[in-house]
Amino acid sequence: MTLNKLKDELQIVSHRGLPSDFPENTMVGYREVMGLNVAMLEIDVHLTKDQHFVVIHDETIDRTSDGKGRIADYTLSQLKSFDLVVIKMLLLRENEYPR
């Protein structure tokens, strides 16, 4: 394969929105990345204990909330009771980049 052919076939895929600038897996991050020259937006989806889909990169809530444990071990209602780190980051970003 030639370098030119490879260059023509390369596609940019965004993972988790634009986590370098915005909280990952948030609508503000998704909106921003759609304005860039990306071919796809890839997300991670996990199932809760009560079979609801949630969009989160990790299998646990340890890194992104004040809770600990696997997503699959919690119901959606229980997950909603945790303080999400990304919500705090999002509020800061929304103040910096109002819509």
Tell me which of 15, 31, 46, 49 is the catalytic residue.
Answer: 15
Whether 15 sits among the annotated catalytic residues: the reply is yes
Question: 54: which 2 tokens?
Answer: 């949630």
Whether 52 sits among the annotated catalytic residues: the reply is no
Nearest to 49, CA basis, from 90, 26, 80, 21? 80
Report d(CA 58, CA 47) in Å as an integer.
12
Tell me which of 57, 67, 70, 94 is the catalytic residue.
Answer: 57
Cite the active site residues: 15, 57
